[in-house]
Chain A
Amino acid sequence: MSDSPLVAEHAEHTEHDRPELRHHFADEEQQRNAASLGMWWFLGTEIMFFGGMFCAYLIYRLKYFPDFAAASRSLSLGIGTFNTTVLICSSLTVAQAVRAAQMGNRKLQVRMLLLTLVFGLAFLGIKTKEWGDKYREHHIPTFDFSAKDLMRDNQHLFGLDKLQNDPQALQKREAEIQQHSQIFFALYFALTGMHAIHMIVGVGIFSVITWMAWKGRFTPGYHTPLEIAGLYWHFVDIVWIYLFPLLYLIDRRPGA
């Protein structure tokens, strides 16, 4: 853990007695620290990556708040909540798998990793269903996009009820809503799509990790790949923990 340089006498080792130690490291601790520091910094870059999109989201949300709130209401709260739970469960099983590796329990490790994969795939499946619903509701930007249903359901939120006597203003406002809710859905698909890509990468990584665990590669002394893959998985979960309220819970007050 310490940041201080290592002592030279550790440098002598042969490749045979410590197979997982790569030649340029003095010992296993240095190797593990390097790998996990690398992953932490990589997650830092991921924060900046999503940060760019969050920034775009924030600006448009502040600019077009009522339109974003109304568009957000068309997302299914039930499915979103359920999917959030699925993802949190997958993080729990990853943590359990790491714990199992530390205790040297191979069977539990594999079981927990398989569960993680199941949860991860379930999340992606449910997300696909949600996107399918959006397609049927004509909420996919540019593909025959229509905000008619949003306007019907949120007359008051949009302020349309006040404009009934002014057809010109009403038409103008309706055109705006059409555009602004399209921006909401563009950001919705960009954000959830980018998150889903990260999930797919995560499932790929964990397939390999599960296979390695199955082969018994991880011991209480050496399970760095599992640990840093776990860091990645937790990060992708945390991104969703932010996405969920930002996209689904903008303003759900009844009567607002």
Chain B
Amino acid sequence: MATAVASMEKKNYLNAEYGIRSWLFTTDHKRIALLYLISITAFFFIGGFFALLIRLELLTPAGDLMSADMYNKAFTMHGQVMVFFFLIPSIPAVLGNFLVPMMIGAKDLALPRINLISWYIYIIAGILYLHCIATGGVDTGWTFYTPFSTMFSNTRVVEAGLAIFISGFSSILTGLNFVVTVHRMRAPGMTWSRLPLFVWSHYATSIIMLLGTPVIAITLILVVLERTLNLGIFDPTRGGDPVLFQHLFWFYSHPAVYIMILPSMAVISEIIPCFSRKRIFGYSFVAMSSIAIAAIGFLVWAHHMFVAGISVYSALVFSFLSYLVAVPSAIKVFNWTATMYKGSVSFSTPMLYAFGFIGLFTIGGLTGLFLACLGLDLHVHDTYFVIAHFHYVMVGGAVMGYLGGMHFWWPKISGRMYPESWGRAAALIVFLGFNLTFFPQFVLGYLGMPRRYYDYSHMPEWQALNVLSTAGATILAVGYLLPMVYFLWSLRYGKIATDNPWGATGLEWRTSSPPPTFNFDETPVVTWEAYEYESMSLPEEVTLER
């Protein structure tokens, strides 16, 4: 207890000011990151609740738990909450917000007030969406496909569309802040080739946020106008073109996948060198592959529309480009594994998540190639194969990276260590639960089970696999609840963290845990390359799990 009191005497961003006002009006990027952390966690559990409803309904072949309409709403709101209110802000707005300025040696993001505004915009959008849920919800599928959303759905499409439109601004402002910060706020000596890969990935993510999000904004505005004023832009009976909506929608929503996965890759690129005690293999390739993913990611959107009646030639081009985007992703995976090769690998919790990420993302990515293949896509389009594929990327990839990052930087954020053995147990439970949930869905999809069906009583032989999946989801839920519990526990009872508990090289570890309000007592001057683990001996007090 005496040590706790002693360490608390140092001023840091948490004890610099007290009271609710000091949080709600803060412009400190670290406090705003925590505001985001609390809000996205709330939405994660709301989205998770809908997932639970879906899995419970599919436990039995008959549609017995809820009505068909209710089921449509459940999967729609699961998708929209998870994509727009959890995954897209998750790593950038929490870890990115906290770490990007620290990693480049800046006192704050370039535009701190805009950073705070972005959180308020997110909250306004979130409240609007919650209101939409509470007053009846929406049933269009997360994709808002026309003409169903504009002409036939009797649910609160306009409100959901506006909520997502507003949340887009929050994402744009976060991306804007990162780009300007990386360009203008780097500490002396922090050249582009010395930037941590975390920053490179967030830079790439920000470019997608900036150039993609406005397109979904205008698309949703057109849907809202069409629905309220009945304009006919997307109505085929009046000369409109519903496929145009799909083009506009996927122009954002496919790159949005990279908004979710790139920050997760950012986290993994930090964890792996640290727990292998080696410089990252092929730094510039990993950095440039982030930019390549962002660039090529904008050119693959129509692979969601192979069966929507696009011409066979454009389908061929989009199929080819979709294969192409796998190249930079594969470069990353190869370089991470090459980094571990002959490294001094430890099995601490963040590293377990990184292992999980590599395996699951590889499966998710490779099945993506199945789907980019025109012939095979015709067979598995809109089946559970697709569901399993993108959950391997978004949950197996993005959420694994998010949890790994939360564990890795928790000592820096809170100044406390989480309990290591609990952490490793939770990582294992998440990995097992995840695979049990989603692997059977690959099989189901290949057998032909369509997505968005609530009743499969014509095919009772699908039940066994669905039961496995639901059982896995239960385990996964435990795996997600555990970290929340022990993170909260550690705030009070956790071991006091040293400034650099992992012996990592980044600038964020060269300041105290938790950091002072302006991050560094003195502006750091960088004279070394990123990830110089070979020349750095592990500090005495640091012991990594073997």
Which residue numbers of B lie inside 8 Å of A, CB to CB? 106-108, 110-112, 114, 172, 176-177, 179-181, 183-191, 210-215, 217-219, 221-222, 225, 229-233, 238-241, 244, 247-248, 251, 518, 523, 525
CA distance A157 to B514 in the complex (A): 72
Known contacts: A38-B111, A182-B238. The answer to whether A49 contacts B248 by CB under 8 A is no
Chain A contacts for B229, CB-based, 8 A:
141-142, 186
**Closest chain B residue to A177, Cβ basis:** B239
Within the complex, which residue of B106, B180, B233 is in contact with A186, where a contact is CB–CB below 8 Å? B233
Which A residues are in CB contact (< 8 Å) with B239?
Answer: 60, 64, 176, 179-180, 182-183
Residues of A within 8 A of B189 (CB): 5
Partner of B188, one of A7, A56, A59: A7
The interface residues of chain A lying within 8 Å CB-to-CB of B221 are: 190, 194
Interface residues of A in 1-46 (CB under 8 A from B): 3, 5-8, 11, 22-24, 26, 30, 33-35, 37-38, 41-42, 44-46
Closest 6 CB pairs of A and B: A49-B214, A52-B218, A186-B231, A24-B107, A24-B108, A48-B214
Return chain B residues, CB-CB under 8 Å to A37: 179-180, 183-184
Measured between beta carbons, the chain A residues less than 8 angstroms from B525 are: 8
* Interface-central residue, B108, B231, B244, by most chain A CB under 10 Å: B231
Question: What chain A residues lie within 8 Å of B211 (beta carbons)?
Answer: 44-45, 48
Residues of A within 8 A of B244 (CB): 56, 59
| B180 cross-chain contacts in A, Cβ below 8 A | 34, 37-38, 41
Contacting B219 at CB < 8 Å: which of A33, A52, A63, A183? A52
Mark each residue of chain A from 172 to 190: 1 if its CB lies under 8 Å from any CB of chain B, else 0: 0000100110110011001
Size category of the binding interface on chain A? 35 or more
Task: Report Cα–Cα, A48/B176, bound state, in Å.
Answer: 14
Cβ contact within 8 Å between A11 and B172: no
**CB <8 Å contact, B107 and A41:** no
A38-B111, A48-B212, A56-B222 known; A182 vs B231 contact (CB < 8 Å): yes
Whether A53 sits at the interface, judged by CB under 8 Å, is yes
In angstroms, how far is the closest chain B Cβ from the Cβ of A31?
9
Question: Considering only CB atoms, which chain B residue lies closest to A59 in the complex?
Answer: B244
Query: Is A132 positioned at the interface, with any CB of B under 8 Å from its CB?
Result: no
Contact A3 B222 (CB under 8 A): no
- Whether A204 is near chain B, meaning CB under 8 Å from some CB there, is no
Note all chain B residues with C-beta closer than 8 A to A45: 172, 176, 210-211, 213-214
Taking the nearest CB of chain A, how far is it from the CB of B404, in angstroms? 29
Contact mask for chain A residues 59-74; partner B; CB cutoff 8 A; 1 contact, 0 none: 1100110000000000
Q: Give A144 Cβ to nearest chain B Cβ, in Å.
A: 13
Contact A182 B191 (CB under 8 A): no
- Indicate if the CB atoms of B233 and A183 lie closer than 8 Å: yes
Which residues of chain B are near A33, meaning CB under 8 Å?
A: 184
Which residues on the A side are within 8 Å of B108 (C-beta)?
23-24
Tell me whether A55 and B518 are in contact (CB under 8 A): no
* Cβ contact within 8 Å between B238 and A141: no
Whole-angstrom distance between the alpha carbons of A41 and B187 in the complex? Answer: 22
A51 at the interface (CB under 8 A from B): yes
Nearest CB of B to A63, in Å: 8
Q: How far is the CB of A222 from chain B (nearest CB, A)?
A: 17
A211 interfacial by beta-carbon distance below 8 Å: no
Residues of B within 8 A of A46 (CB): 214
**B214 partner residues in chain A, CB cutoff 8 A:** 45-46, 48-49, 51-52
Contact present for A34 and B185 (CB under 8 Å): yes
Quick one: which of A3, A6, A22, A45 has the most chain B CB within 10 A?
A45
A contact residues around B190 at 8 Å (CB): 5
